[in-house]
Amino acid sequence: MDVTAKFQASIPYALQSVSPALAALHTRRLRKISTEPTYPDFENSCCNKCGFYLFAGDSNTRVVRMNKAKRRRTDAPTRTHSSSSTRARQSTCLQCGWVTESLLDDRGLFPTRQSSSVEISNVEQLHTPSTAAAKSIQNSGDAAVESKAVSSHKTEIVHRQPTSTSQFLTPPRSTVPSASTSTFTKSKSRPKKKIGLHEMLARNRAKEEKEKAKNISNGGQASLAAFLDSL
């Protein structure tokens, strides 16, 4: 499409927001003047009869299934996809009542399944590891076996060490009592002293309380006698 045709095709979209009727007029004029056979944008978005824009609230759009009779018609609207499609977008213009149908591509919505041979080859590649991976697995297994053998050999050497040396290393038993026993006996005797001190302190407190009570009682009697004498 040359520059002039692109400019003429952009005029209806520029006038759509200002005057939909004028945009439809330019669309119909472009269809008559244009030398190119098809304009997919206008076929899908504008009414084929009056030229009004279908997606501005001036149409009813739904998805329908195309039967074989409709697919065999030669006077059907221009199709942008293959005839194997069974779904179509049906737009009814509210200005003139014209029905515009555009086929939908089912291949984009439902992708085809791969062949069984390709799936089998992919499964075989997943289940059969490569040679490098197999070698690494073998090397790791050999290293694990060697480490187990070395560890078992070390444990045998440790268990086979003579136990006679432990007899010479044990220190002789001492007949002298250790200082820990004396400290233990002292710790036993300490609570008795503490108990005696507590008893003495308790007795002293009791005596002091008794003396205070006596002094208070004597002071009260003296004050009563003085009060009576004053009367």
CA-based Rg of the chain, rounded to a whole angstrom? 56
CA dihedral 222, 225, 229, 231 (to 10 degrees): 120
Q: Looking at 109, 141, 160, which one is the last position of a domain?
A: 109
The DSSP-derived string for 167-224 is HHHSPPPP-SPPHHHHHHHHHHHHHHHHHHHHHHHHHHHHHHHHHHHHHHHHHHHHHH
Are residue 12 and residue 103 in the same domain, yes or no?
yes
**Total domain count for the chain?**
2
209, pLDDT greater than 70 = yes
**124 assigned to some structural domain:** no
Question: Residue 133: which pLDDT band, with cuts at 50, 70 and 90?
Answer: low
Contact 101, 88 (CB under 8 A): yes
Higher pLDDT pick, 122 / 75: 122
Lowest-pLDDT range of 35-39, 69-73, 100-104, 212-216: 69-73
Find the domain containing 230 and state its range.
188-231
> Is 127 inside any structural domain?
no
Q: Tell me whether residue 131 is in a domain.
A: no
Residue 112 is predicted with a pLDDT of: 63
Asked whether residue 158 is assigned to any structural domain, the reply reads no
The pLDDT of residue 227: 76
For the entire predicted model, the pTM comes to 0.31
Residue 206 domain-assigned?
yes
Confidence of residue 73 (pLDDT cuts 50, 70, 90): very low
pLDDT in tens, 119-128: 666 655 665 5
Q: Give, to the nearest 10 degrees, the angle between helix 20-33 and helix 3-15.
A: 160
Give per-residue pLDDT as tens, 81-108.
Answer: 444 557 787 878 877 878 877 777 766 6
Indicate the helix (H) or strand (E) that contains 140.
helix 131-159
98 plus 193 within the same structural domain: no
Residue 156 lies in a domain: no
Give the domain-ending residue among 70, 89, 109: 109
Starting at the edge strand found earlier in the chain, the sheet holding 99-103 runs: 59-65, 87-93, 99-103
Residue 68: predicted pLDDT: 53
The residue from 109, 128, 155 where one domain ends is: 109
The CA distances from residue 38 to 5, 79, 128, in Å, are 12, 10, 54
Is 160 a residue whose pLDDT tops 60?
no
Q: Are residues 200 and 104 in the same domain?
A: no
Instruction: Identify the bridge partners of residue 53 per DSSP, sorted by sequence position.
Output: 46
81-84 long-range contacts, CB within 8 A, separation 24+: 81/105
Q: Write down the pLDDT at residue 79.
A: 46
Q: Is residue 215 part of a domain?
A: yes
Mean pLDDT of the chain: 66
pLDDT in tens, 6-52: 777 777 777 777 787 787 777 777 767 766 544 555 556 777 777 77
Instruction: Give 95's contacts (C-beta < 8 A, 6+ positions apart).
Output: 24, 47, 50, 52, 58
Structural contact between residues 98 and 64, judged by C-beta atoms closer than 8 angstroms: no
